[in-house]
Each structure stands twice: as structure tokens, then as C-alpha cells.
Structure 1
Amino acid sequence: MDRAPNRYDAGRAFYAPGVPAEIDVDERDVGALLDDAARRYPDRVALDFLGASTTYAALEQEVARAAGLLQDAGVRAGDRVALVLPNCPQHVVAFYAVLRLGAVVAEHNPLAPAEEVQAQLARHGARVVVAWEKALPLVCPDGDLGGRTVYAVDLTAALPRSSRLLLRLPLPAARRQRDAMRGPVPAGVRSWDRGVRAARPVDGPRPAPGDLAVLLHTGGTTGTPKAVALTHRNLMANATQGQAWVSGLEEGKETFYAVLPFFHAFGLTLCLTFAVRMGATQVVLPRFDVDMTLAAMRRRPATFLPGVPPIFDKLARAAEERGADLRTIRYSISGAMALDPEVAARWERVTGGLIVEGYGMTESSPVALGSPLSPDRRPGTLGIPFPSTQIRVVDPENPDVDVEPGSPGELLIRGPQVFSGYYGEPEESAAVLLPGGWLRTGDIVTVDEDGFVTLADRIKELIISGGFNIYPSQVEDAVRLMPGVADVAVVGVPGGAGGDRVVAALVLEAGAQVDLAAVRHWCEGRLSRYAVPRQVAVLAELPRSQLGKVLRRTVREQLMERGSRKS
């Protein structure tokens, strides 16, 4: 890789003390992170799940048994194993067990629509699936296992013994909690929890740095469903870069909060790999909930919290209202969407710590830029390139040509964290991976004279709500099939600290009446909950280009100008 200095390197002068310009990439497999932590900190709590704790030594032993269970199920090096799980100890165990065998983890959202999960399973062809009991209808609809070996995870099995006993009580509250955590298990589905306890420990072949480690599902820069292929080297590089960036963290002494979903690139890297590299204790929450988080803070206070702006906003407001103590949190990294400066200021006021934005995409494992964790941080910007990361700003129509300094252009990224391509999609990969290892982000940015990058626009018309990526074409495909809808364009409009609000602009058939409630009801089961429109507007027609393409940007401008007509 050409590392010659260029005009985009000015930001390195603002690195926090101790942050290097370059890192030495750990040329081992991801499983080495857990091996190291178990050897160096065997008695340290690795996971805290609603009060149940697991040490690093115990976690490593459970991973070895889980690897034995998967090996007995026929998993070999290079095989894909699908995980359809919320955040829980079993997710961590399964993740490292799959990698221990040299196999590939395929992550899935356990709350996604069944059709989406089924399409993803078909795309990568996993023959073994580990799924939460309540996600089994997504994996084996109507009890059809599809020829796969399916393991069911019981979330209550990871709870403290006292909590499990309480769930057995014949009380309405216990029944509601039990129903929220457990679900029916079809015939032929095996128990993951019982299987791991009974399995023999194994240690499989160690993968090479360039071997495939993880598949993460995304719409990429086009919105077309695909799987991002991340290698062991990609993940190890980004974990090392993260450790360098947050240089104030001490190995073996920190407590991370795992509130970001592990199936998302941000949660996977910051929690499943970076936290283990640090020998940190992880407080694992099955979902983000203010009350649950504050209760955990009283039990095991956080020192480092990665999250998305709505998390920081809700926690800071709750802390102010209830007098909750968050002052143990020294560092926080916000990602997936823009961080409102007011939210950042409130967070720093209630914690006394620092919060900065990180920028990246699934294709970059995911973090590529960040604001320095120092007084030089600049809220509202994407920050400056991570160590061993280079950027360029180019003409979107001709990415070989850099734009003039200070002018807007498409951001390109190059570094050891940049992915190897989309799984089984060579043409899609070639469209975003340029010669020389440059990744096209699809984001229009400007770079100031100090080297700080600011987002100006998005080529890909991506909607970001609550930290989740929403692709307009996927929402449109679902809404367009609704009776009474002749045409539809989906756009995002500003929605405050939570990010964009999904708005469906509808053209109705003659005499049809369609309101927001009807659209939301229709989309249930067809779209992930975060992608369901929050507002509708009825238009006489949709603006189109000369080639007939809907001009979403014009739709958005029209809605912003006149205010969306709510139904």
C-alpha cells in the first residue's frame, strides 16, 4: 500500500496523545483474542448478563465445548454457521466457537422479517443455524428446518439461578417476562444450551489472517441485499485501531456496556472483538432499555460505552431526571448516525467524560474515521482518519480525480479494515472496490484545512433511523404491493436525536383511501420494525427523470418545503 503523505493527512496533527499514525496489524485469527484474555485474566468477569457472571476462563472452556458440539454437527473450516440471536452470553460463545473451527459466522437480525432471513440463509448456504427460540419462526417457518441442523437458544438459561426460579412462579409478571424471553421449539430443533454442557471440548485448525471470518448483511451502497465478507485481518485491524484511538483505556480494568446489537458491525467490533482484546468486562443487555441499563449501572458501573445518539440522549435525560450516577463512564463513541452537538454536550455534562463520533460502514469493519478523544474533538464532524487509514475526496462521476481542496466530493477509504468484497457478488464488489484498495463510500463530504471531514450529502439515499440503515427501495417494494397504492417513493426527513423519520410518499389508485395506520399494519411482518414508515404523504404524482426514475431527492425537498401531510 502506498503510504506517501498527502493533503488529507493534516488531521493526524490532532491525534490525542499516544495515538500512533500507523498500527501493526495483529496477524492472528480473531479467536486469539479470547485465548489471550483467558490466559492473562482467567478470573476476571468477562460477561455480566442481567446479574449472571462468567469469567474469561469459564468463557474459554464453554467456547471449546461449543466448538465440539458444532464439530459433531459436521461444521468444518470454511463452512458458514448462521447466528440469529440477540445479545446474550450464548451469542458470544457461538461466535468464538464457530471461529475456533475455522468456520464463518453469518450474523442475522433476530427481529427481521422471515422472508429477509430466509433470503439471507439461501444466499450464504449455511447448513447449521443457532437461533433464539423466539426467532425460530424466521429460520424454520411452519416447522420446516429446510434440511438444516438448527439449535435453539433459551435466553433464560443464561440468567442467574434466582431469576430462573422467579420465572417459574405462577404470577402474571413472571409469565410476561418468560413469554418475552422464550418461545415454542419445533420438532427436530436441538437444544444449544444442553448440547454445549454435554459436549467435549475441541480446538480446531487456526485460520489464516486472510481467511473469511464473518458475513454481515447490508444493502451496501445500492440498497441491494448482499453479505459483506470480513476477514480475520479486517476484524483484528479494526480492534487494534480502536484500542489505539481510545488510548486512555487500560487492559484488564475496563467495563464495556454491550447495548449495541452484536449482529451489527458496530456492536460486533466494539464489543465482540475490541472488548475481548482489552480483557474488559462486558455488561451484556439483550436490548437497549433505559431502566435495564440504569439498573446495571448500579450493579456494575460502565467505564466505556459505545452507542448511537438515541441511546446517549435517552440515558442522559433519564440520569438528569432521576439523579442517576453515570460519572464512571470516561469514554463514549457514537456511531451509525450524526451526533447532535446538544446531545453530546448533555452527555459530557452528566458523565464528566468524553464522547466523540466515529464514522464508517459495514464494509470497513466498520470504523474508519473518528473525532479525537481530546479537547480537539469537533462535534458535528466525522472526524479524521483512523491510524493506518487513508482517505481521498473525489469526483463521484470520475473517482480517479480528486476534487479541489475544500470542495465536496465522494469519500474514498483505504486501510487494513476495508473488506474483501461482497460474498458471491464479484460485480457488486468491483463497483465499490477500486484499484489500489480504495473503497467507495457513497457519501459526499468536505475536508477542512485541518483535515476534519464533514458529511455533506449521501449519494446512496440511505435513511438512518435509530442507528439502523434503511434502504428506500426495500421499503418501497413492500408498500407498492399494498392495495390502493399505485406508486410510492420513500425518503427520510429529519427526526431529531433519533435520526431520520421514514416517510412514504404515496400516489393512490382512483377512489382509494390509505392512511398511516393501514400502511404500518401492511408493513408488519414485511419489514423490520425500524424500517416501517412513520409518516405518509399523498401526492398526485411522483417527480421523475427523463428516463422515468423517481427523483427521491426532489420528493424529499417537496415534503420538507410544504410539510408532510399526515394521515
Structure 2
Amino acid sequence: MTHLVDELLDVARSAPEVVALRWFGGRAGARVREEVTFAGLAERVERAAAGLWACGMTPGDRVLFSIRPRPEGVILCLAVLHAGGAVVFVDPGSTPELFAARITAARPRWAATEALLYAASSGPLRAVARSRGLLLPDYGRLPVRHLYTGSWLPGVPRGARRVASLGRAAQGVAAGRGTSQEREDREALVVFTSGTTSDPKAVVHTTRTLSGMLSLFAQVGDLKLGQRAHTDQMFLGLPALLAGGTWEIPAKAPKDAPEAFARGVAGADSSFLVPADVTALLDVLEARSTAASPDGGVPAAAEAAVGPAGPAVLAVGAAPVTVALLERGRRVLPGTRWLAVYGATEILPAAVTGADEKIAAAADGDLVGRPLDGIGARIDTTVVDLDETPVARESAHEVGELVLTGPSLMAGYLSDLDAGRPPATEHRTGDLAYEDAAGRIVLVGRNRDMIIRGTVNIYPGLFEPRLRDLPGVADAVLVGVPVPDGDERVVLVVTAAGGAWAAGDPRVRTGTDLTRTVADQVTRVLDHGALPDLVVEASHLPVAGRSRKPDRRALVSLVSPLAGTVRA
């Protein structure tokens, strides 16, 4: 199997003058700030990789990576892989304790960070970051070798190497290669997905499984030579490069600058968004249509002035994609082909379905489509306890846990691999599903509790024990309340120690002394990615099943009106 960087170098040799990376910026986010041809990309990746090697990087080194998508960051990421290192993504906004636990688990030898992040975490901007509730770890004190992008700022540690100067350190040194087998089995990507300070959980992909992932995404987008992929997601950007296309990188994430993203994505061949970003994009486009025509329609002249409103293909994934979101997308951008992508960090992507098929399907559940070529799927019915799982009991189909295999299957979890355990052979998704007569996968629920907000998977069971230890709390349950675009709003339901409310049907309310106290304390015990959008006090918790566990479905119904959402 060819190393993905070698594939890019092959593309560079065949189409050297084609633009590989185009980065937008400026106040409106519409100006092209930088373009890099394939020839330039190949040269900079090779020089940076050689520079890393000259600075002491060895195969297997892990690099803590905190650089936003832009050419310099993409080139460094590819150079790390080319030099035999592994990119470790860790959220710098985690609680200090969880961040420290993840660093201890990953044991990085390097940190690649923007100069601004150094300044905000250990320099003069630290107070500003804290005033905004961002408790950043002190990056400058990490006992690793430091790389930084951008101009030097106070807080960048002494001895840190500027990424732009790596090429000057190479002086003809070639990056370490190793045998083909060694290179395929090297760690390439480490992504922390969940976990607590005592058990941080990270997914590990090797060069082989990362290449498998990118090949599968090429199936999703049907990418071709010369096409434009406008996205901030590397899972579409890198396959576009491998196909000889141009990866257009927006100035900011779509949710942070939807107007700029709407302008940039217009007329592109493809894009990839998470559901929350789709909502932001559609809000902008609908507002534009309303401004063009007060009655909500867009006259032909106005439409011609606006230009193409969307990409040819828009893939949506990384969170549940609802029919309501696709119906809205199809209505606002009728000329765009909408795709819903299903998968997990452990194996991505796994299945895809078009909007028309998903909307038209008369399925008792959430149609996610047929497995992509190379993906194996089976339904394990032995794990389903019908008494504990009403959704399975009520289904007319044979429901079980969806289990997946394929070329993009992770090597395993970091703690398992570092302990010498064998690589993963399959991924148990935790999704309850069945296969219909056409071989399509239909989801009907979860076999274990998980909330998905944005691109973050939140496992309530990891955090609830710590929440129950807060003063005045008898019990605590985290639930996800669905919103129409497929995202979930996180609600923390607590009961008061001493049981001050009367028994009977559960009652819930906000604005109590207990909810205010808990809301002030959750930042001490939760990763910021799991912080609740709302804290609610309940008289008592509804229970279900033989085990008398909290009935999370009933709680969602109870708190939905308070959360200001509707059930999907």
C-alpha cells in the first residue's frame, strides 16, 4: 500500500502547477490569502519533514497538534507523517486535570501550536482567556520540543522552532523511511474522543487505516481531477488532494463565519459539514433570499446577481443527520446533491445515503444507507435485552448492535495498544440497528448511553459519578435533547440531597438554588466539551427496566419544554 504522502508526491509530479491549497481570509473571509501549487506543496512537505528529522524527530514520535486548518498547518501535519511521526489531537479547552491526563496517556515528544495559543496559555493574553472562561493549559511548560506557527509572541518558549524555518534546518537531510510494512503499521493519528482523568480514551489510526479512511471518503465525494473541495475538514480535504483537486480552506469554521463560508462554498464541487454548520449555512442563505425578495422568493435577476448558492455535492456527517435537516437543505439548495454520511472516529466513513433516498424511505428508524465498498457490517442480536431496550422490543425487525469492519478500522484504543494488547478486529458501534431487504442499515436506538453535540461524543456514565459528588446533589443524569438539525442539547438533571419534593409523577424546574449552585461548579468536574447547556432540578428520577435504571427517554420528554427544543 502506498503511503498517503507518497501519493501526494505522485500527484505533484503529474500536475505540478495545479493549485493544491487555497486559503481564504480578509475581513469578509472572501479574499484568497495564500495559494500553494502541488509542486510547492511537495517541496514544502519534503523540506519540513527533513527539517523535523534534522531536529531530532524519530519514527513513532507523537506530536501534540493544535493548529487551525490553513496551509502551514496542513503542510506540517503531512510532514510529521512523512517523517514517521504521529499527530495527536487534544482539545486545549479541556479541564486542566483532563488535559494533563491526556498528555500523560499520549506521552508526546513534540508540541505543534500556534504562537497565539502559547500567548493565551502562558503569556500576556492568559488573563484575557481566563476572563472568557477558557482555562488553557500552560503549553510553554510542557516538557517537549516545541514548534510554532505564525509570528513570535510572548509566551512562546525559548528554543521553540518556527515551522516556517524547518526547511532551513534540513541541509540535505532525508526523513527516515523504514520498510514499507513498518511505515504502514506506524501510528499516524491519535484522537481523544472521551474519557475521564482516570481513563482518557483515544482512537489510534495507522498510516494504513488513515489511507483506508481517505479512500472511502473518495467514494463519498466521487472526487476527480481539478475539482474544488471547500471545507475545513481534512477528511474531505486530503482525499480531494489525492484526486488532484484543490482543497479550499475557509478563513474560519463555518459556524463562526457562516456568511464568509456561504460565499466561498458557492459553486464548489464538494463540501463536508457537520449538521450544526449546515444549519448556520442555511440560515444565511435563507436570510439572503428574504433580503432579495420580501415575500421569500428570489427573482431571477436577483438570483443571477447572487450566483450559485451552494456546492454540487454537500456531505453531512460526524453527528446524526435528520430528515428535517435534509428536507430544509434540499429546499434552500435544490441544485445541490445532499449526502448523509455515517461512521465513527473508530471507523469512518462506513455508510452513505442520498437525501432523496433517506427522505423517501419508509423505514422504522434512521436510514444510514448501504455500507461503502470494503466495509463489513453485521447485526449482533445476542447483546439486546428487550426488557431494558424498549425500542428493540417494539421493532418489527431483528434488531441488534451494529458491528463494523473495514480498511479504515482503527488500530485500537491508545491505552490498549500501549499495554501491548492486539489490534482491533472490529468496532462495536453501540448503535441498535437492523438490515432491510435492500441491504441498507437502519438505526433504531443506542445500546449504551451517548450524547452527540457538534462533533463531540459525550458518554454520561463517565461523568455522572463526579456530578453526584457535588454538594447538595443526591443524583445526577446527563441527557441529550434532540434539535431539528440532528444535534443535541445537553441537559443535566439533578435531584436534591434530602428529597425535599413530594413523590408522585416527576416534576422538573430551573432557576432553583440547587441548579444555580451546580451550574457554578460543573466547570470543575466536567470536560468543557461535556458542559451542560441547561441544569434542571427534578423532584425524583423516573426509572425503567428490571435494573430500575434512570429512564433517560422519559427524562428527555420531561426536560424538552424547558430546553426550548422539539423532539426529532
The TM-score normalised by the length of structure 2 is: 0.77
Match of 1:242 in 2: 217
Match of 1:33 in 2: 7
Alignment check: 8 A CA contact 1:538 1:565 kept: no
Alignment check: 8 A CA contact 1:77 1:101 kept: yes
Question: 1:163-562 alignment to 2 at 5 Å?
Answer: 184-188=154-158, 190-196=160-166, 198-200=168-170, 202-205=174-177, 207-219=182-194, 225-247=200-222, 249-251=223-225, 253-259=226-232, 267-271=233-237, 273-285=238-250, 287-289=252-254, 292-295=257-260, 298=263, 301=266, 302-323=268-289, 325-327=307-309, 329-351=311-333, 352-364=335-347, 366-372=348-354, 380-397=366-383, 406-425=397-416, 433=424, 437-476=425-464, 479-480=467-468, 482-497=470-485, 499-509=487-497, 514=513, 519-524=518-523, 527=526, 529-542=528-541, 551-552=549-550, 554-561=551-558
User: Alignment identity in percent?
Assistant: 24
Alignment check: 8 A CA contact 1:256 1:280 kept: yes
Alignment check: 8 A CA contact 2:193 2:456 kept: no
Q: Distance in 1 between matches of 2:137 and 2:262?
A: 39
Alignment length (residue pairs): 495
Q: Distance in 1 between matches of 2:108 and 2:45?
A: 20
| 1:557 partner amino acid | A
Q: Distance in 1 between matches of 2:277 and 2:485?
A: 9
Flag the 1:405–1:484 CA change in 2: closer, same or farther, 3 A.
closer
Match of 2:144 in 1: 148
Question: Deviation per CA, 1:297-325, whole angstroms, max 9, x where unpaired?
Answer: 54674221111112222212311221454
Q: Distance in 1 between matches of 2:560 and 2:139?
A: 46
Q: Distance in 2 between matches of 1:184 and 1:520?
A: 34
Secondary structure of 1:204's counterpart equals: coil
Question: Deviation per CA, 1:405-451, whole angstroms, max 9, x where unpaired?
Answer: 93211101121211221123169998995xxx332111101221112
Question: Deviation per CA, 1:21-60, whole angstroms, max 9, x where unpaired?
Answer: xxxxxx1112123212322222222222222222222222
Secondary structure of 2:183's counterpart equals: coil
Q: Would you identify which runs of 4 or more consecutive aligned residues in structure 1 move more than 6 Å? A: 137-140, 373-377, 427-432, 544-547
Shift of 1:387: 0.2
Secondary structure of 1:269's counterpart equals: helix
Flag the 1:312–1:293 CA change in 2: closer, same or farther, 3 A.
same
| 2:241 partner amino acid | V
Shift of 1:550: 8.1
Q: Are 1:69 and 2:51 counterparts? A: yes
| 1:269 partner amino acid | F
Q: Distance in 2 between matches of 1:246 and 1:409?
A: 30
Q: Distance in 2 between matches of 1:94 and 1:525?
A: 34
Q: Distance in 2 between matches of 1:471 and 1:370?
A: 25
78-87 vs 106-115, which deviates more? 106-115
Flag the 1:334–1:33 CA change in 2: closer, same or farther, 3 A.
same
| 1:424 partner amino acid | S
Question: Deviation per CA, 1:360-402, whole angstroms, max 9, x where unpaired?
Answer: 11111x1111115886886751111000112111124289xxx
Q: Distance in 1 between matches of 2:458 and 2:428?
A: 19
Q: Distance in 2 between matches of 1:490 and 1:431?
A: 33
Q: Distance in 1 between matches of 2:545 and 2:330?
A: 50
Alignment check: 8 A CA contact 2:228 2:247 kept: yes
Q: Distance in 1 between matches of 2:41 and 2:466?
A: 42
Alignment check: 8 A CA contact 1:391 1:412 kept: yes
Unaligned runs of 5+ in 2: 26-31, 123-135, 290-305, 386-392, 501-510
| 2:65 partner amino acid | L
Alignment check: 8 A CA contact 1:76 1:102 kept: yes
Alignment check: 8 A CA contact 2:254 2:281 kept: no
Flag the 1:194–1:94 CA change in 2: closer, same or farther, 3 A.
closer
Unaligned runs of 5+ in 1: 1-26, 158-181, 260-266
Alignment check: 8 A CA contact 2:204 2:411 kept: yes
Shift of 1:135: 3.6
Question: Deviation per CA, 1:137-192, whole angstroms, max 9, x where unpaired?
Answer: 669945662421122223xx6xxxxxxxxxxxxxxxxxxxxxxxx97424326142
Flag the 1:498–1:386 CA change in 2: closer, same or farther, 3 A.
closer
| 1:315 partner amino acid | L
Flag the 1:459–1:326 CA change in 2: closer, same or farther, 3 A.
farther
Alignment check: 8 A CA contact 2:327 2:359 kept: no
Match of 1:48 in 2: 22
